[in-house]
Chains A and B, each alone.
Chain A
Amino acid sequence: MDETSQAPYVEHHTPPQGFIRNYVFSVDHKIIGKQYYGLALVAVLIGMVLSWLMRIHLVWPNSPVPGLKWLAHTSAPNGVITPEYYLSLMTMHGTLMVFFVLTNAPFAAFGNYFLPIQIGAEDMAFPRFNMMSFWITFLAFCFLIAAFFVGDGPPISGWTAYAPLSAVGAVAGPGQGTGQTLWGLSIATFCIASLLGSLNFISTTLDLRARGMTLMRMPLSTWAWFITACIALLAFAVLLPACGLLILDRLAGTSFFIPANLVVSDQIQPHSGGSPLLWQHLFWFFGHPEVYIAILPAMGIVSHILINAMRRPMLSHKVLIYSMMSLGFLSYMVWGHHMFVSGMNPLSSLMFSFPTLVITIPSTILTLIWIGSLYGCKLRITSASLFALGFVSLFVSGGVSGFFLAQPSIDVLLHATYFVVGHFHLVMGVAAIFGVFAGTYFWFPKMFGRMMNEKLGKLHFWLTFAGAYLIFMPFHYLGMAGNVRRYSAFVDDYLLPLMPVHRFITIAALATGAAQLIFLYNLIHSRFRGKPAAQNPWEATSLEWTVPSPPPWDNFGGKIPVVYHDPYQYGIEGATDDYVMQNDPKNIPTVPEEGLR
């Protein structure tokens, strides 16, 4: 599409009327984005408390946790966490964090709010679908939380829900009855919402770009959300039927994942013909792309913010985009690296190992471009840019451990140990959360019309950055020493000498978690008492900074912008400031995209 082609079709809707239409069942992408953010915030707080409970149980197994006996009187009698409740906490922590935080916050929340504005659209392509996808996600959240309050408690089979433990029902242990069914229902529901959401993202990006907004003129954050939506569309489309089959196995007596002649609790199971490996293949076919669903939006957000802080475009816009695309593409070929020791054909392990190692190449390109672009820049240090730089550091630290796990022969030693836990927490958990923090400090002024407190933001950064390393680096050491994950207690003689490391981690986790209260306070306080934000407080170039803070309900006040420039015209000599906005009609000599400069 060039600048002279016809204006795209735009969904016009009238200003919303009344509280319910404005704030609850809103079709406005900005409200929906905030709703996703709020849901992710609730989920991350619950998930963090669960991780505290786990850490406390691991090092002080017999101490009662104040208040817990009222919340879980059967699973945690007198507030002391039982082995099965530990597994419940772990399952719920993983599920909440992966689905309701890492998928919702960087992708659904920020994507919803900023993708349409960054491409110059009034709203998403399908606003009602958009509203539906949030409320279906909310329903999925309710199903999951309900598992805390049913019969014998939440499921214990982990966020990966490996069959047959997850498929045979209550006979397999506490939590495997209604709790596990609710888990399946929750995830299936979540898949439906994500499918609607990603369809919406894709069609919006392809159809609703303003005049002059060519694909290559889209900001990197929009590119990342777009690529993520393409990944999510394929990934959730596989997890949805997988969860459907799991529920059928549990409720309708089918045997998709359960083979014949299983004897669980001395009872022979009335199933035959299923395959536990089928679940693993279906789950990880979703599960590995899911890692990229979490991390790609963070990469986009971080690139967007870093460019603004460096006052220069990245060394190459296109190379970043193509690298993100190749990550998305490769993410579909490597799911078997989660299954090296699963009993699948050992030849397939080699087949899965190679593309996994190849993923290192686009990841390294991204990292080198981020770091290389810092060279010769004029770096501005803000809370947002600190978190963005922290992301780069964490992405490297979490990424290099992937080298080990990508090789089946080393995976034999490290599989299912804390090494894996350290790896994925750094590279997809904490790194993606750093993307969300960076995005929050950067975009909060636009979303709420008020600035966040920079001093508190920086304090929050220091504590969180140091805390993340203090918690997750030792996980790698534990794993190398052979500390198995998903153990509710360390009773073996072998593991007992590692207890001091666990104590260290627990203390670091409690402190780092407590430091998040600073963020929470800053968020709430700034929402009501923050300094009023200007339209473009960071002197940025993309379209979200051409509209008032916060933007009106139709984003551009009825005047759809026309785009004249590449997204990141920073470091421009001859401009009044050092940057030129994307919709600036002035014919200023801008920095052309030279590809591989």
Chain B
Amino acid sequence: MAKIFAITLIIIAIASAVPIILHTWYPPPDISTHGALIDEQMADTMIEAGVSFLAAQIILAVFIWWFSTSKPGQKIKNFPGGARGLVAAAIVLVGLEVLALGVFGQKAWANIYFTPPGANAMPIQVQAGQFAFYFRYPGPDGKFGPIHPELINEATQNIFGLDQDHDQDSKDDIVTAQMAVPVNREIHLLMHAKDVGHSFYVRELRIQQDFVPGLDLSLHFTATKPGKYEIVCTQLCGLGHYNMKAYLLVMSQEDFDNWMKQQAAAQ
């Protein structure tokens, strides 16, 4: 029985590791300027976690195999080095690992959050509400008009609660249901929620950020590869949560300018 258990453990350990080694299911390729650091961090962690996982399962299996078949008169032996050795190993090895991941690994995080967006970053506002994202571009004047929550009305398509009759800055604002960005241009995303908590997740961009009602949050990124990518909500927001998504369209500057013109005409 113990031997079957030991074999089962080894099979489980190896079978679990195979899809990871083969990258059968893995994050889609990164299309951001900051994502490479995250991927590197993930790969390093995978090696450390993978080695710990395989080593622990296999040693557990081997010990179960060996020591379930002792003879009656056999004496109890202690692991060489005893608890002292194991505690020291845990503190030194895991401690180093923790330091390596914890200290050096913060570079990726700092890169995203502790560097302000560049002066040339293009501002786009995103509003999350049950169960859609809407985006707002400031238009030619480069300014967003103020939001009046009491004017928000989905029936009249006043998604952001703009008062275009009175607010000069609102007049040329462009509201869209998809988010187009020029490739290799830094985007400064200004995020707010209309009703409850939501989240902005683009797998390929290596970005996930919650919308918190009452807080204006922002993040910045540069997309490096043209294409169509999903923006999905990852914060439970109600019955339509599963279907709350939009698309990120990364395009050349020329295509972007044309897209912008079409959107302006459609307002």
Contact = CB atoms under 8 A, between A and B. Distances in A.
B42 A481 contact: no
Contacts of A314: 83
A595 B201 CA distance: 50
A415 B87 contact: no
- Listed residue (B20, B82, B91, B155) with the most chain A CB atoms within 10 angstroms of its CB: B82
B63 interface: yes
Nearest to B37: A409
A484 interface: yes
B60 to A, nearest CB: 5
B90 A376 contact: no
A410 B41 contact: yes
A502 B20 CA distance: 17
A407 B208 CA distance: 14
A400 B52 contact: yes
Contact of A413 (B27, B105, B237, B240): B27
B140 interface: no
Interface string A396-415: 11001101101111111101
A59 to B, nearest CB: 14
A564 interface: no
B101 A87 contact: no
Contacts of A357: 98, 101-102
Interface string A360-393: 1100110111011111111111000010010011
A282 interface: no
B258 interface: no
A481 B23 CA distance: 10
A588 interface: no
B242 A83 contact: yes
Contacts of B194: 262-263
Q: For the side of the interface on A, what is the size category?
A: 35 or more
Nearest to A382: B1
6 contacts: A156-B238, A165-B237, A319-B83, A400-B49, A409-B106, A484-B232
B60 A389 contact: yes
B2 A346 contact: no
Interface of B: 1-2, 5, 8-9, 12, 16, 19-20, 24-28, 37-38, 41-42, 45-46, 48-50, 52-53, 56-57, 59-60, 63-64, 67-68, 70, 74-79, 82-84, 86-87, 89-91, 93-95, 97-98, 101-102, 105-106, 108-109, 112-114, 129-130, 149-150, 152-155, 161, 194-197, 199, 201, 203, 206-215, 217, 230, 232-243, 245
Interface in A396-451: 396-397, 400-401, 403-404, 406-413, 415-417
B60 A374 contact: yes
A372 B234 CA distance: 41
- Listed residue (B89, B106, B197) with the most chain A CB atoms within 10 angstroms of its CB: B197
A252 to B, nearest CB: 20
B29 to A, nearest CB: 12
Contacts of B67: 310, 374-379
A157 B130 CA distance: 13
A482 B2 contact: no
A346 B109 contact: yes
- Listed residue (B26, B53, B215, B242) with the most chain A CB atoms within 10 angstroms of its CB: B242
A87 B236 contact: yes
Interface of A: 82-84, 87, 156-158, 162-165, 168, 172-174, 176, 258-266, 268, 274-277, 310-312, 314-316, 319, 341-343, 346-347, 349-350, 353-354, 357-358, 360-361, 364-365, 367-369, 371-381, 386, 389, 392-393, 396-397, 400-401, 403-404, 406-413, 415-417, 458, 462, 465-466, 469, 473, 477-478, 480-482, 484-494, 498, 501, 570-571, 573, 595-597
B97 to A, nearest CB: 7
Nearest to A390: B5
Contacts of B196: 162, 164-165, 168, 172, 262, 264
Contact of A361 (B98, B234, B245): B98
Contacts of B195: 164, 172, 262-265
- Listed residue (B26, B49, B57, B79) with the most chain A CB atoms within 10 angstroms of its CB: B79
B25 A477 contact: yes
Contact of A354 (B102, B208, B239): B102
B98 A358 contact: yes
A465 B1 CA distance: 14
The 8 residue pairs across chains A and B that have the minimum distance between CB atoms: A259-B214, A376-B77, A316-B83, A346-B113, A409-B108, A84-B239, A487-B242, A416-B234
Given A172-B196, A262-B195, A481 B26 contact: yes
A596 B83 contact: yes
Given A346-B109, A409-B41, A492-B245, A376 B236 contact: no
A378 B70 contact: yes
Given A316-B83, A408-B109, A162 B26 contact: no
A421 B241 CA distance: 17
A575 B42 CA distance: 54
Contacts of B24: 477
